Amino acid sequence: MMSQIMIETVNLTRDYGPNRALDAVNLQVSRGQVMGFLGPNGAGKTTCMRILSGLLAPTSGSVSVAGVDVVANPDVAKRKIGFLPETPPIYGELTVREYLSYLAQLRGVGGKQRRGAVDGAMARCGLTHVAERLLRNLSKGYRQRAGIAQAIVHGPDVVILDEPTVGLDPIQIREIRDLIKELGQEHAVMLSTHILPEVRMTCDRVAVINGGRIVLEDSMAGLEARASEQHGVRVRFGAPPEPAAVEALDGVAAVHVVEGGWTVLPQAGADPIPALLAAAVTGGWDLRELTPGSNALEEVFVQLTTREESAESQQQEAA
């Protein structure tokens, strides 16, 4: 099957007064993909998602959803998109069924199809047994499911989820992540989060935004490969040696000493683990943890976002 591009932004830019919140953002997401949209606070994620959803106008650049220009045809585009905002509006006095039916109607699902659409969305989100419950009486996890159900009830091509697992307990989180993966098979899904393991678990692609600019866009596989080239081995010792003793080992390029553990960076193409293990045993370093590349994604993320920030602060200092 040809990959169908469902979300496309070209040089998308948005200013709030003198502040540029989005700066020439180019993104593409196809049907069958879950794209993780990552960035620190204030990076521009919400701004981007609100523009995609037709809730906010861009300053310049273009944005299309399922081939429909969101700025030129907002009403058509809105029917092709489902959005779960970070804080969804509350309709506590409606039952789950009434809520979904109301929103399906707003988004143009006709009377005959509506019941089937609502039943289908409830089934996919595991809500069938609470269909007649008032929203205000649902647990947070179920309310979140209702939020996701409203984002898919009208059969949109594109589903955008803003921090969908924030505030849920671990079991609810797992269930919502499974649901997101499932949605990715049929829709193009954009998932905003700053939880890195969540991206690893649910996404096929990842885009990292910082200071309004996309600083990385890659497949998960590509990112993991990139990370493993520069990843470190995380180690913790009960009786740590001098860092120089580790640095001197075969295959070790450098050692970063941080609180709670060290990161041992390998020389290109080398595996430092055998020498590390041997030295830890003979040296009595009391090895407590050895995790290869466990922070790979985190390291790439931190590198990408801090590099941009430090470049910016240097510019500001120079100005």
Could you tell me which of 39, 17, 33, 34 has the C-alpha nearest to residue 25? 39
| 46 forms part of the interface with ligand ATP (CB under 6 A) | yes
Sign of CA dihedral 265, 268, 273, 274: negative
* Smallest distance from ligand ATP to CB 70, Å: 17
Smaller CB separation from ligand ATP, 44 or 54 = 44
Number of residues near ligand ATP (by CB under 6 A) = 11
**Binds ligand ATP by CB under 6 A, chosen from 42, 108, 238, 284:** 42
Is 297 strand, coil or helix?
helix
| 43 forms part of the interface with ligand ATP (CB under 6 A) | yes
The pair of three-digit structure tokens given for residue 38, joined into one six-digit string:
């990552």
| 36 forms part of the interface with ligand ATP (CB under 6 A) | no
Could you tell me which of 30, 89, 27 has the C-alpha nearest to residue 55? 89
| 164 forms part of the interface with ligand ATP (CB under 6 A) | no
* Smallest distance from ligand ATP to CB 206, Å: 15
11-30 residues in contact with ligand ATP (CB under 6 A) are: 16, 19, 21
Smaller CB separation from ligand ATP, 11 or 105 = 11
Only one of the segments 37-45, 164-172, 181-189, 232-240 lies at the binding site for ligand ATP (rule: CB under 6 A); that segment is 37-45
The C-alpha atoms of residue 298 and residue 186 are separated, in whole angstroms, by 29
Q: For 176, left (φ over 0), alpha (ψ -120 to 50), or beta?
A: alpha
**CA end-to-end distance (rounded Å), the chain:** 51
Residues 6 or more apart from 24 whose CB is under 8 A from it? 11, 12, 13, 61, 213
**Binds ligand ATP by CB under 6 A, chosen from 44, 58, 156, 240:** 44
* Smallest distance from ligand ATP to CB 166, Å: 10
Sites of contact with ligand ATP (CB under 6 A): 16, 19, 21, 39, 41-47
